Amino acid sequence: MPRGEAVGIDVGILNFLATSSGKTYRNLRPFKTLQRKLRLLQKRVSRKVKKSNNRKKAQVKVSELHEKIANIRKDYYWKLAHELCDSAGMVFVENLNLQGLARGILGKHCWDAGWGQFFQILEQCCLKRGVFFLKVDARKTSQICPNCLTERGKKELSERVHSCGHCGYTTDRDVAAAQVVLIRGLAAVGHTVKMLSEGKAVALPVTKESPSL
Ligand SMILES: [Zn+2]
């Protein structure tokens, strides 16, 4: 059942994740070093004579590191999922078309970022802890002002701040997108939301006057 405090989540390239309550999480740094090491080891494999013992040994090292990286990532996602569940009774995420994104402009970034795996883990975590989880429409989440709900047009990736020319609401761009996700999620479960100030939102029952997204 949808109840308790609600949190909307936006995922992106610069920030791995942003929440409607104003928290942002950067992409995992340690990966870069480990991934460089992985490429180095992979090169070493290709330099060894095929079917030789040395090649086998080098291959074992590659798969060990692969596993290590995958485990660190998984642990981090679980930790993040638990942290989000700690403070929420409802979690809303974007229903991303990951295949479409991978083919499109985001390309390889999309798979590197691991959003798909993270959403799976988050959903499992919510299920375990009795937190309501829902995917909502992902369209234009970064183009709508969460405060006045007017469409403000596309932002360049370099534009890090959402500043609404209509109502003056200003916040981090990813946080603004997460707040749009939150509003959509709450609307989907029959609530409307009133933004009080940065990160503070109260859910209200939907009325006739409620703007629809
Ligand atoms: Zn506005």
Distance 24 CA to ligand 1 centre (A): 21
Taking only Cα atoms into account, the Rg of the chain, rounded to an integer number of angstroms, comes to 20
Span 92-131, pLDDT tens digits: 999 887 656 555 555 555 555 678 889 999 999 999 999 9
Place of tokens 């609401």: 169
Q: By the 8 A CB rule, do 210 and 194 touch?
A: no
Predicted pLDDT of residue 213:
47
User: Which 8-state DSSP code applies to residue 77?
Assistant: H
User: Which 8-state DSSP code applies to residue 13?
Assistant: S
Rounded Cα distance, 61 and 40, in Å: 11
Distance 183 CA to ligand 1 centre (A): 14
Q: By the 8 A CB rule, do 57 and 49 touch?
A: no
- What percent of the chain stands above pLDDT 70? 81
Distance 78 CA to ligand 1 centre (A): 34
What are residue 16's phi and psi, to 5 degrees?
-60, -40
Q: Give the pLDDT band (50/70/90) at residue 4.
A: confident
pLDDT for 9 beyond 90:
yes
Span 153-212, pLDDT tens digits: 888 878 899 999 999 999 999 999 999 999 999 988 887 665 544 444 544 444 444 444
Distance 169 CA to ligand 1 centre (A): 5
Distance 162 CA to ligand 1 centre (A): 9
Distance 56 CA to ligand 1 centre (A): 60
What are residue 58's phi and psi, to 5 degrees?
-65, -35
pTM over 0.75: yes
